[in-house]
Structure formats: structure tokens, C-alpha cells
Structure 1
Amino acid sequence: MHINGKPRPPRQALDVVVIGEALIDVVTTPKGTIEYPGGSPANVAYGLARLGVGTGLLTSLGADRRGDALEKHLTGAGVTLLPGSRSLEKTSTATATIASDGSATATIASDGSAGYAFDIAWDVEPPDLAHTPPKVLHTGSIASFLSPGAGKVKAILQQLQDACTITYDPNIRPALLGTHAQARGTFEELVHLTNVVKLSDEDAPWLYPEKTLEETALHLLDLGADLAVITRGSSGSLLATPSASLSIPAAKTSVVDTIGAGDSYMSALILGLLTRGAGGLAPSVLDQLGRTAAAAAAITVSRAGARPPTEDELRAKLQQPAHA
């Protein structure tokens, strides 16, 4: 996408490769069961494609109707499903039960934890991306923690560490992460291999309960990230580099629900990294990155479900006056 309205050149190689889980969210209500496409990395890939970015997804789908539905959902938006992504017998799911008053009923997972019940397997065969690396490689969520695939994701990051910009959103799911110490150790090993790390204001205090959000951002920079981003919902977001720190307000909107907001923010942040020009990570660039990502999240929360904006919708939002 070109925010300034210049025409996009014909696509050649993929601009972004996303590596991570795609799954089906199964929501059971008193009125019946509804299934939605899900998985944070898949949502980011979907959001990028909606923004006109040439995007490939390496994931792990089953040879079943749910896998077919996910593939149709992703490719319908323009995502290229990379070879080896239909590798499971059964597509992964995350199940939640919603009571008649709208509250989530505690669903007990196989590990004894309450909340979402995950039935997920994660493994990938690393493609050879070294010869034609994308401009940006994104990963995160369950895919960066769950074996055996997590080790292969780490190997891909090690291979491409100096070949492209690497972005990472851990999208913490405590029920799947083992001990806190193990999860934080895995996370920090990956931060060392990445350029841009995004945490939510739920992820950050879970990982670092002893730190403020600002202290956590500084810690990510100390670990080697070039840019640390912490989203704070309606309070906006914090973007920090070793030389600058900006607080960006949330874009004005009417909230219907917050499903997919963080993934939409991530997609638009990656878009901003692709289109930032020669400004590096100067404060003016950080401001544009943050406002573009905030606008995308605002569009998503203004309508039901994980429906990220299109390129035209995001451009129109960015052209609105700040108070609109």
C-alpha cells in the first residue's frame, strides 16, 4: 500500500512472509456453535493482504473441512499459502463457551487450565527463504512457543536475521507456555533475533510483572530489538527506540468489539515499516507508524468480528481530521 496514493507496482516476490498457526475458533453459545477463522499469525497475514501487501503464510492446516475453510478464507483475501502448510491430519481449534449473559464459561483444557480449550498441533518444514528473502518476516503467538514447530521457527529467524526485517508478537497464551520462567526465556531468545517486538498491555505485565510498561519497552531494546511497541487499548500505544520514545493516542472510534484489534495493529505496523522510506526509525517515522497502526485497529473495533480494514478504508481513515 502507498498511503500517499501513488500506484503500486506489479507484485514480484512476496513482501512479507508470516510464519505461525492458523486455527478455528469454536464459540459455543446457548443458540448454537459458531466457527471463525483464527490464529494470530494467520490474522496478521489476512490483514496484510487486505491492505494490499504481497503476503505469504507458512502454517500447519489439517486435511479436513476446517482446513479447507481456512485456506479459502486466507487465499480469498490474497494470502499465498506456502508449500507444506497442509501438513496435519486435523486442523487445530480453540474452543470457548459463552453463557446466556455473555460471560465466558470456564472450559477446562487438557492441562487443567480454565478458559479457552486448545486442541492444537504445531509443526512446519522450514522453506529455503535465504535465496529470495522477503522484506519482512513476521512470527509470533503459539508458533513461537509450542514444540516441535517452535524450534524450527527459531531456526528460520536465525537464518534470515541479517537478510530482512523480523517482527515478533508473542500474543501470550499462558495455558500453552509451560512455566513463567520457561516462557520468558523462550521469548527473550527470540527477541534477540528480531528487529521489532510488539506486546499488548496484557502480555507485558504477564512477562514482566515487576516492570512498568515503559521499563518493559526499555528492556526489549536492551535485549536487541530496534523498536519496541506496547499497545494499550483505548490509551493508545508506546513506541520506543534506543534514541526516542513516543506515546501515540488511539484513533477516535465507536467500539463494537475488540476482536482482532491487536492483529490489525500489527498488520498496519508492518505496512508502515514497508512504506516508511529513508527515514529509518526517526521520531517522525515512529509517529506515522503508530498512527497508521492505531487507525487500522480503530476500524477493526468499530465493527463486529475480526474484520481488518482494506487499503482504501485505511487510507480514508488516515485522511480524516484527528477529532473524527
Structure 2
Amino acid sequence: MDADVLVIGEALIDIVETPEGDEEFVGGSPANVAVGLARQGHAVRLLTRIGRDDRGARIAAQIEDSGAGVDDRSWTDAATSTARARLRADGSAEYEFAIDWDIPVSPAAGVRAVHTGSIALFLEPGATAVRETLRAAAGAAFVSIDPNIRPALVGERERALARFADAAASADLVKLSDEDAAWLYPDASAEEVLERIAGYGPRLVVMTRGAEGAIGRGPGGIIAVAPLTVTVADTIGAGDAYMASLISSVLDDPTVVDDVQAFAAALRRAAVMAGITVSRAGANPPSRAEIDSRLG
């Protein structure tokens, strides 16, 4: 399919442990971003790695039902990856992964934006192909990344930080969580983290902070935005919804990277999209119409 956005990264099945038993949801940070973008009305192609099994078929069906497409090179004879999620008391999740990650370098010709992140940036052999793709896309498309750190998979911190910095040097936008920041830069304040990442090259850097909202560095310096107040079902997919909304805002209005008011509006819209997502179970981002109705 023709696409405005190429999303590269893992698609998997989230196995969520509940008192009633295990429940399975389609997940994987980049796959969630692809779905979120499609629900905002953008043409999206996802390059991932899924098995020719029942779980892989479920993933492909949900992605395609959202309006996004699955790149033909995504299919493999290996089993579809899984992430077992254990919910903490506050609704946040910790994960145990069974994942296989190996993809080709993918030229980004013909797309307006390229997004990747999470396990795809760090787990070999696919991580090298991902970073090569970002280097090739830099300057030709709007590039965004989200490290979405999984300590059990990314390896030793200094090496992971070097890989993250290398990817960020090709990016226009970096979004990370406060937990990512604490792992990557354990002795730095939120403002210091934003400045350090901006020093790699991206024009926009955003840190989500859960119930405290988010802080972003962009045109005009550093600004903060409050979260949408909701009853939290769980936080699965919240950061991915935020990421999808930021990319969508840039595609809708490229002045987000240059104009203070446009950047602030993009942060507010992302907060609404993430807030709606956490108000319902699993990674289930809202449509454009749902967000518009909350923004008034």
C-alpha cells in the first residue's frame, strides 16, 4: 500500500494477567503507534515481524482493521512474539518478553514520516537495520523515535545509551517517558534530560510523566502540559498513543516544529489521546473524532 508514514518495530501479543485469568491483546509499541496513526486518518505501513500462526493473523487483522497496512516482508515462520504483562496496583505494567527481531533495511522513499522505537532500536540483529534505515531517512522524511526502554532486553546501560544517542541524531522528534529518562540518565533532572537529547540533534523532545502530564522542549524552549483527568483502566499503550498523536499533529501542521502555539497545541492533543487510551483496557487508541469531541 502507499503510505504517508512508515512505522518500523515489533508487533506482538500482550498477555495480561488478571484475577479472572489471562487476557490477550494485540500490542508492541511501534504496532500501537501504527494503529494510533491510522485511527487519526493517516496512511500507515508497518514493517514488523510476525509469525504465520493464529496470533500473527490476529495482529495483522487488527492492524489492517485500523486502516494501516502490514509490509509483506513482516511475515516469518517463527512464532509470533509475546509480552506477558503483570499489572501493578496503579494500573502500570511490567513485562516478560518472548521476542524474535530480525528485519531488512527499509528505504523510506515516498513517505512523509518514519517512526521506530522500543525493542526495535536495541535488539539484534534487527536493531542495526533499523538504525541504518533512520540514517537514510534523515532529512528526507520526518523521523521520530521512542526508546521505550525494556531493561531486560536492551543490555548494559552505557551501550544502550550510545545506541539511543545514535538513533536520536537522525531524529526530528524524540518522545520518552520519565521512567526511560531515569534509566538512561539517572542523575539528570527532567529539564536536563530534554537538553541532553536535544543536543543530539532532534528539534522536538517530549517527556511523558504519567499523572503529572508531560514536558516538552521545542520552539520557544520548555513547556509543560497537564494530563487529561480520567479513571485509569490500565496504562498499556498510553505512551504509544501520545507518540502517535504527536506525529499526527506534525503531519497535519508542519509548523509544530517552529511555532510555540502549534507545539503547545500538539502536546495538549497528545495528552487527550493518551488519556482516552488509559481509560479503557489494553492498547486501544481513540479515533480522531473522539479526540476532537474531548477538545471541544
**2:82 maps to 1:93:** yes
Report the AA paired with residue 162 of structure 1: G
Structure 2 counterpart of 1:55: 44
Cα deviation code 1:74-99 (max 9, x no counterpart):
10111111120112421011124579
Shift of residue 104, structure 1, vs aligned partner: 10
| SS of corresponding position for 2:55 | helix
CA spacing shift, 1:251–1:27, aligned 2, 3 Å: closer
**Alignment equivalent of 2:4, drawn from 3, 15, 18:** 15
Give yes or no for contact 1:246–1:286 (8 Å, CA) kept in 2: no
Report the AA paired with residue 287 of structure 1: A
Q: Which moved more, 1:218-227 or 1:81-90?
A: 81-90
Give yes or no for contact 2:256–2:263 (8 Å, CA) kept in 1: no
Give yes or no for contact 2:256–2:266 (8 Å, CA) kept in 1: no
Query: How far apart are the structure 2 equivalents of 1:96 and 1:226?
Result: 33
Report the AA paired with residue 48 of structure 1: L
Query: How far apart are the structure 2 equivalents of 1:98 and 1:225?
Result: 33
Structure 1 counterpart of 2:177: 200
Structure 2 counterpart of 1:40: 29
Q: TM-score, normalised by structure 1?
A: 0.86
Query: How far apart are the structure 2 equivalents of 1:149 and 1:294?
Result: 31
Give yes or no for contact 1:221–1:242 (8 Å, CA) kept in 2: no
Give yes or no for contact 2:36–2:241 (8 Å, CA) kept in 1: yes
Structure 1 counterpart of 2:161: 184
Structure 2 counterpart of 1:6: none
Structure 1 counterpart of 2:239: 262
**2:272 maps to 1:283:** no
CA spacing shift, 1:54–1:104, aligned 2, 3 Å: closer
Report the AA paired with residue 262 of structure 2: V
Give yes or no for contact 2:9–2:48 (8 Å, CA) kept in 1: yes
Shift of residue 168, structure 1, vs aligned partner: 0.4
Output aligned runs, 1:161-310, within 5 Å. 161-241=138-218, 243-278=220-255, 280-310=257-287
Structure 2 counterpart of 1:125: 104
Give yes or no for contact 1:260–1:300 (8 Å, CA) kept in 2: yes
CA spacing shift, 1:184–1:155, aligned 2, 3 Å: same
| SS of corresponding position for 2:102 | coil
- Between structure 1 and structure 2, the one with the greater Rg is 1
Q: TM-score, normalised by structure 2?
A: 0.94
Query: How far apart are the structure 2 equivalents of 1:242 and 1:98?
Result: 37
| SS of corresponding position for 1:95 | strand
| SS of corresponding position for 1:94 | strand
Runs of 4+ in 1 over 6 A off after TM superposition: 101-105
Shift of residue 291, structure 1, vs aligned partner: 0.6
Percent identical:
42
| Number of residue pairs the alignment of both structures matches | 296
Q: Unpaired runs of 5+ in structure 2?
A: none
**2:288 maps to 1:311:** yes
Shift of residue 31, structure 1, vs aligned partner: 3.3
Output aligned runs, 1:127-166, within 5 Å. 127-130=106-109, 132=110, 134-166=111-143
Cα deviation code 1:207-260 (max 9, x no counterpart):
001100110000011111111100111211111037421111112333332221
Q: Unpaired runs of 5+ in structure 1?
A: 1-11, 106-114, 320-324
